[in-house]
């Protein structure tokens, strides 16, 4: 049964059964993740669950990438640890309720910043992330997802590794979950294998009364996921510059980390589904979702690569799956808390293990002997930083910077000049390669000013002046020729190069020659 679903001007062919079942699977997988991330800064499980509901619903309806799932994430949760520590230093004895008010205000302000990024169309800058950085980001996240499951093999009371029958049961159920997820698609794809695995393992545990860790066991004593519709929570804080100074740095970090993780996840899902999402639209949706999350008692978040991959691997391609996941999560909170709390953690751990295995770019190992060494170093470095620090923003930004420096270095070495003297005694320098900040030194070394004739032509047919450093390099070379009474001409400049020179007319004074075949018309705008 395939029809068209039109939600907010988005037309997408929908397989309703696949979308709904996939959404249900995602909702089940969201519960332990949201609880675990809420516990990182010491929040109530409901704070993470409310954030997961709001973010999943809003981004599924308004986001730029159908099929992508958002919710409370560890990358955002760890930022609040720093905020809480600063609040406790500045305000000794601060009440937990006041801390939450600061958190909600930070989430709201982060959402405003994200909307601003979308309206300014800054989402396109994610295209500047090189492929090795993408590989490193994905591999690092896969390691994080994988390693995050191991605490479930420890006794929550004593902190010791499970042993004996408890360990074997946990391992056996986890392995059974993974085998079902791996093997069922080879037999049938009528239903998501992840959902079947969770249901089968849960039925075995509940049916036979097997004593093993459940979702309820990962929560603090006395806490529950049972709740109502997310309550309205307007942050009660003094509207002062002191308050703003405390929250703005953390809001900026939340906004940046959230957008980086969301836009990179969007790119990954684009590749998997062979479709194209809208980065700017996703920025606005993420911002709107975080603003609503802050007003509805949620801790905020961003796109979740693990749940997004669960969704797409189950065949979901439309917005309905994310909407279903959000609605079912709210149903669990309001009506099915006892059932969800009794789910065996082994089933969810097995599911996340398979997500980690599917997320890791195993093909990246094949590129070690084929990619430049700088790309391999960037990929490994981003992987390690992501996995060790969990700071995705720093890992990606550092990877981009190193890649840019490596690219600049390689291009700086490519500039060269073909030299000859024509029948009129004019010395020609035919420049090859870009003239930019990295190549200016080598460019200057190409010229033999003292021994050159009275007239020199610098030909840029196979080159271009890329930046202000290039302009300054031209200025210096013409000054060197001017000091010895020699004349310099520039030839075959591209339109943008000419604009740079004309904009710098107070800096450089050269004769721009226009070739009759490649005539350039300077257009100012």
Q: Are 114 and 257 in contact (CB under 8 A)?
A: no
Give yes or no: residues 383 and 446 share one domain: no
| pLDDT the model gives residue 6 | 44
Q: Classify residue 373: in a domain, yes or no.
A: yes
Same domain? For 231 and 370 the reply is yes
504: containing domain = 414-513
Instruction: Quote the pLDDT of residue 24.
Output: 93
Note the pLDDT of residue 509.
44
Is the Cα dihedral 180, 184, 185, 189 positive or negative? Answer: negative
Residues 37 and 293 sit within 8 Å (Cβ to Cβ): no
Q: What is the pLDDT of residue 497?
A: 67
Question: Based on the domain organization, do 58 and 85 belong to the same domain?
Answer: yes
Query: How many helices (H) and strands (E) would you count in the chain?
Result: 18, 9
463 in a structural domain: yes
Q: What interhelical angle do 16-39 and 193-208 show, nearest 10?
A: 60
pLDDT of the residue at 2: 40
Answer yes or no: is 499 within a domain.
yes
Q: Given a cut of 60, is residue 429 above it in pLDDT?
A: yes
Please report, for the domain that includes residue 433, its CATH number. 3.30.750.24
The torsion of the CA quartet 443, 444, 448, 449, rounded to 10 degrees, works out to: 140
| Domain final residue, candidates 353, 373, 403 | 403
Instruction: Report the pLDDT value the prediction gives residue 421, as an integer from 0 to 100.
Output: 93
Confidence of residue 448 (pLDDT cuts 50, 70, 90): very high
Does residue 438 fall inside a structural domain? yes
In a domain? residue 377: yes
Work out how many domains the chain is built from and give that number: 2
Are 332 and 202 contained in the same domain? Answer: yes
**Residue-level length of the chain:** 525
User: How confident is the model over 456-464, as a mean pLDDT?
Assistant: 88
pLDDT at 106: 97
> Do 429 and 397 fall into the same domain?
no
Please give the Cα distance from 359 to 356 (Å, whole number): 5
321 shares its domain with 453? no
pLDDT band for 191, please (50, 70, 90 cuts).
confident
- Average pLDDT over the chain reads 86
Average pLDDT over residues 350-377: 84
In a domain, 7, yes or no: no
Whether 397 and 427 map to the same domain: the answer is: no
Q: Let me know whether 451 and 398 are in one domain.
A: no
Domain's final residue, options 347, 376, 403: 403
Assigned domain for 6 exists: no
- The H-assigned helical ranges of 335-450 are 337-341, 345-359, 373-389, 392-412, 440-445
How far apart, in whole angstroms, are the C-alpha atoms of residue 237 and residue 105? 8
d(C-alpha 417, C-alpha 240), whole Å: 61
Whether residues 394 and 504 fall in one domain:
no
Rounded distance, CA 109 to CA 114, Å?
9
Domain endpoint, select from 403, 437, 460: 403
Residue 7 clears pLDDT 90, i.e. is over it: no
Q: Residue 245: which residues within 8 A CB-CB, separation 6 or more?
A: none
Question: CB–CB of 378/132 below 8 Å?
Answer: yes
Residues 385 and 429 grouped into a single domain: no
Cβ(339)–Cβ(214) under 8 Å?
no
Q: What CA–CA distance (Å, rounded) separates 463 from 430?
A: 9
Question: pLDDT tens across 11-34, in order?
Answer: 557 889 999 999 999 998 888 888
How much is the pLDDT for 496?
A: 67
Q: Is residue 10 over pLDDT 60?
A: no
What pLDDT was estimated at residue 465? 84
pLDDT computed for residue 3 by the predictor: 41
Of 124-133, 371-380, 510-519, highest mean pLDDT: 371-380
- Domain assignment of residue 302, yes or no: yes
| Domain shared by 29 and 67, yes or no | yes
Q: Is the pLDDT of residue 503 over 90?
A: no
Asked whether residue 333 falls in the same domain as residue 429, the answer is no
Residues 6+ apart with CB under 8 A from 455: 425, 426, 427, 486, 487, 489
């Amino acid at each position: 049964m395939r029809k068209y679903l039109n939600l907010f001007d988005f037309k997408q062919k929908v397989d309703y059964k696949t979308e709904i079942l996939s959404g249900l699977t995602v909702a089940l997988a969201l519960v332990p993740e949201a609880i675990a991330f809420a516990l990182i800064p010491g929040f109530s499980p409901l704070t993470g669950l409310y954030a997961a509901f709001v973010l999943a619903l809003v981004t599924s309806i308004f986001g730029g990438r159908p099929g992508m799932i958002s919710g409370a994430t560890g990358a955002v949760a760890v930022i609040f640890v720093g905020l809480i520590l600063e609040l406790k230093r500045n305000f000794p004895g601060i009440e937990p309720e006041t801390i939450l008010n600061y958190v909600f205000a930070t989430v709201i302000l982060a959402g405003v910043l994200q909307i601003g990024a979308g309206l300014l169309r800054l989402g396109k800058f994610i295209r500047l992330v090189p492929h090795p950085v993408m590989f490193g980001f994905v591999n690092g996240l896969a390691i994080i997802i994988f390693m995050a499951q191991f605490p479930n093999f420890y006794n929550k009371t004593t902190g010791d590794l499970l042993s004996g029958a408890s360990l074997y049961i946990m391992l056996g159920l986890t392995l059974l979950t993974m085998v079902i997820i791996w093997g069922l698609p080879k037999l049938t794809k009528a239903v998501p294998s992840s959902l079947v695995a969770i249901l089968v393992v849960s039925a075995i545990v509940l049916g036979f009364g097997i004593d093993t860790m459940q979702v309820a066991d990962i929560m603090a004593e006395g806490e529950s996921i049972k709740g109502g519709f997310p309550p309205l929570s307007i942050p009660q804080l003094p509207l002062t510059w002191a308050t703003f100074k405390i929250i703005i740095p953390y809001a900026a970090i939340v906004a940046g980390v959230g957008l980086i993780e969301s836009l990179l996840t969007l790119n990954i899902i684009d590749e998997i589904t062979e479709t194209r999402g809208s980065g700017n639209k996703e920025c606005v949706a993420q911002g709107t979702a975080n603003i609503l999350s802050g007003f509805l008692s949620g801790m905020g978040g961003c796109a979740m690569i693990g749940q997004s991959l669960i969704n797409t691997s189950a065949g979901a391609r439309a917005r309905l799956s994310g909407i279903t996941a959000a609605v079912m999560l709210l149903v669990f909170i309001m009506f099915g808390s006892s059932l969800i709390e009794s789910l065996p953690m082994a089933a969810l751990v097995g599911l996340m293990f398979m997500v980690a295995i599917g997320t890791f770019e195993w093909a990246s190992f094949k590129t070690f002997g084929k990619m430049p060494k700088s790309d391999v170093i960037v990929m490994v470095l981003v992987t390690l930083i992501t996995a060790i620090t969990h700071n995705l923003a720093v890992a990606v930004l550092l990877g981009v910077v190193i890649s840019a420096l490596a690219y600049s270095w390689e291009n700086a070495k490519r500039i060269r000049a073909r030299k000859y003297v024509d029948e009129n005694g004019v010395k020609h320098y035919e420049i090859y390669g870009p003239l930019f900040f990295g190549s200016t030194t080598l460019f200057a070394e190409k010229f033999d000013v003292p021994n050159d004739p009275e007239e020199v032509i610098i030909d840029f047919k196979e080159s271009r002046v890329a930046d202000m450093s290039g302009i300054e390099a031209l200025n210096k070379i013409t000054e060197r020729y001017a000091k010895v009474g020699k004349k310099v001409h520039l030839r075959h400049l591209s339109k943008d190069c000419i604009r740079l020179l004309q904009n710098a007319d107070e800096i450089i004074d050269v004769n721009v020659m226009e070739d009759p075949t490649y005539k350039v018309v300077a257009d100012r705008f």
